[in-house]
Amino acid sequence: MVVIGVLRRRRSARALLRASGIVVVVGLVCAPALAAADKIEWSGSGPYEACLEEGATAWLNRIAELVVANDAGARATTDADVATVTIDLMKSCDAKGAPANPANETAFTKYMARWRVHVYEMAKVIRATGGSD
């Protein structure tokens, strides 16, 4: 009986090591993709893109600060609100005379669609550093 118990423990230890190895490999493979997900992939950058990025960062930071403060406004933010902010930012930057690039507008829209990810990442930074940038 003792031998069977030892064999079971060895099997479970091997299974645990194998699973840990798989997690590490998946993490190493996926880490660059996850890091890239936090950036807007512009196809050429100019004043329009800088305007969009500045506006998005400011808005996302405000929401992240509300999350950290456990404010009801953060919980009340919806995808429709973000869509409105996205459109308003594009109109605002376009009104400043910066030429719009359709590919970059698509990239920006996709970036803003992942707003929750960005907000919670910013909230982590705010909590860790004690304040936003």
Q: Give the pLDDT confidence score for residue 100 in this predicted structure.
A: 84
* Phi, psi (deg, nearest 5) at residue 38: -85, -5
Distance CA 34, CA 27 (A): 10
DSSP letter for 104, please: H
Q: Give the pLDDT confidence score for residue 118 in this predicted structure.
A: 96
Lowest-pLDDT range of 66-75, 77-86, 95-104: 95-104
What single string gives the DSSP state of each residue in 31-83?
A: HHHHHHTTS---SS--HHHHHHHHHHHHHHHHHHHHHHTT-HHHHH--HHHHH
Q: Give the pLDDT confidence score for residue 115 in this predicted structure.
A: 96
Distance CA 61, CA 59 (A): 5
Is 6 a residue whose pLDDT tops 70? no
Distance CA 8, CA 5 (A): 5
Q: Where are the domains of the chain?
A: 1-36, 47-129
